[in-house]
A = this chain, B = another copy of it.
Amino acid sequence: MDRALIRSFGRRVRLGMVGGGSDSIIGGTHLLALRADGYCELVAGAMSVQPEIALSSAQSQMIDRERAYTDWRVMLEREAERSDRIDAVVIATPPQLHFPIAKAFLECGIDVICEKPMTRDLAEAQELVHLVRDNNRIFCLTHCYSGFPMTRHARALIKQGAIGRVRMIDVIFAVGDPGTSVDPENPEDRHWRFRATSIGKASILGEVNSHAYHMAGFVTELKGQRVSAHLATFAKNREVFDNLYATVEFSDGAAGRFWSSYVAAGNDQGFSFVIIGETGQLRWSEEDPEYLWFKPIGGPAIRHSRGYDSNDPSATRHDRFRAGYAEGYGLAFANLYVDFAQAVMARQLGRPYREYLAILPSVEDGLSGMKFIEAATLSHEQGGRWVDCAPPN
């Protein structure tokens, strides 16, 4: 990893975080990812809606007491006044808060890293696209699986024609852990992910399947056109859907499927894809992330490994270790932070910075994702009818 840019910048990118405290599932991953390569430092935070957790979480992260906030609005106000104010905010809250927080920070000239699903609905997403553009900010949606070198290499191989024209896209994100879980009898005791009132009955589309849908477009550069979806609920006392089967028509005549689940008992992480073209296929699984299988038709299978110089530059530019030394999930997530931080640094130094953002999940990707969620929900409600899901212009 080339460090000339950070030497020129002379400091780390300063981040503030909203949510992501010790009561968060994803917070710890962001924290590790932002620290790992030394490009960023967390200097401020309103890390929980629970004040006590917000403060103890900030303390655990060695955030100065004066920058440990209990309300993101206060954080924005105070940070805006500082000369060493944060360069960017990390939004790691439940999804219904993404939009107002992002809006406020963007309008204050602060770049944004935002968890998925991007917004609560399509209308918010459309507005957020305009906010990012109008305020001319850097925005990254943390579809973290696009940070793995081997998904980036897959994207490059497909672009280079390794498997010919893409015909079929099969993406699975079937999580197993909570498979047996009986949701608590008392609705109040249920996690927000499983509460229809807080997040909507079809929350699996945003919480889980949005990663799969982004990945389909990320590696193939095709767009969903129509979707036929079936949602179902298996777990006891569960008020939201916990399983999705969807069939999708993509641009350029490709077809595909998605399976997202909270009840794939026995699965661990459960994210994988198979992309089939006219002359071969690519396979990748998040549980075995250092490898990308390329199987050309009629010949031996080729197992690409992270770390080889022969990989695409998009897959090698963050390599920390040689092939055989697994980088894993944390450093894949960190790749997003490096890309983001380099863009922020380059821009503040007045250098070209768009290249760093080229394959980072964008606000437009978030918009496509929200469109798909809306379409799939509608299709399910109409008995699996084909519904248009092409991203709005």
Residues of A in contact with B (beta carbons under 8 Å apart): 1, 3, 6-7, 11-12, 22, 28-29, 31-32, 35-38, 56, 59-62, 163-164, 167-168, 170, 176-177, 179-180, 228, 230, 232, 234, 243, 245, 247, 255, 257, 259, 261, 263-270, 276-281, 286-290, 294-305, 307-310, 320-331, 383-386
Q: Is the CB of A330 within 8 A of B329?
A: no
Asked whether B305 lies within 8 Å of A303 as measured between CB atoms, the reply is: no
Other contacts beyond A265-B297, A268-B305: 14, CB < 8 A: A28-B320, A31-B38, A168-B261, A168-B263, A228-B228, A230-B255, A267-B295, A267-B324, A268-B324, A289-B326, A320-B330, A327-B329, A383-B385, A384-B386
Residues of B within 8 A of A328 (CB): 325-331
Whether the pair B329, A329 counts as a contact (CB closer than 8 A) is: no
Q: Is the CB of B267 within 8 A of A281?
A: yes
CB distance B308 to A177 under 8 Å?
Answer: no
- Which of B29, B38, B288 is A321 in contact with, Cβ under 8 Å? B29
B contact residues around A59 at 8 Å (CB): 7
The answer, among B287, B309, B325, B385, for a CB contact under 8 Å with A329, is B325
A168: chain B residues at CB < 8 Å are: 243, 261, 263-264
How many angstroms between the C-alpha atoms of A270 and B269 in the bound complex?
23
Interface pairs (26), CB distance under 8 Å: A29-B320, A36-B36, A36-B330, A38-B62, A163-B266, A167-B265, A168-B243, A168-B263, A177-B297, A180-B279, A228-B228, A228-B230, A228-B384, A232-B255, A245-B257, A247-B247, A265-B277, A265-B279, A266-B297, A268-B322, A268-B324, A287-B290, A299-B310, A325-B328, A328-B331, A330-B331
Partner of A302, one of B269, B276, B301: B301
B302 touches A308 (CB 8 A): no
A177, A270, A279, A324: most-surrounded residue (chain B CB, <10 A): A324
Nearest B-chain residue to A323, judged by Cβ: B268
B residues in contact with A1, CB < 8 Å: 28
CA distance A277 to B245 in the complex (A): 17
Partner of A281, one of B163, B164, B264, B305: B264
A60 with B3, Cβ < 8 A, contacts A228-B384, A265-B279, A266-B281 known? yes
With A28-B320, A35-B38, A324-B287 known to touch, is A298 a contact of B310 (CB < 8 Å)?
A: yes
Complex CA–CA separation, A280 to B11 (angstroms): 44
Q: Give the residue among A232, A268, A290 with the most B Cβ atoms within 10 A.
A: A268
User: Given the complex, which residues of B lie within 8 Å of A305, measured CB to CB?
Assistant: 268, 300-301
Bound together, the chains give a CA A257 to CA B258 distance in angstroms of 11
Asked whether B281 lies within 8 Å of A12 as measured between CB atoms, the reply is no
Contact of A296 among B232, B266, B277, B323 (CB under 8 A): B266
A28 to chain B, nearest CB (A): 6
Contact A245 B234 (CB under 8 A): no
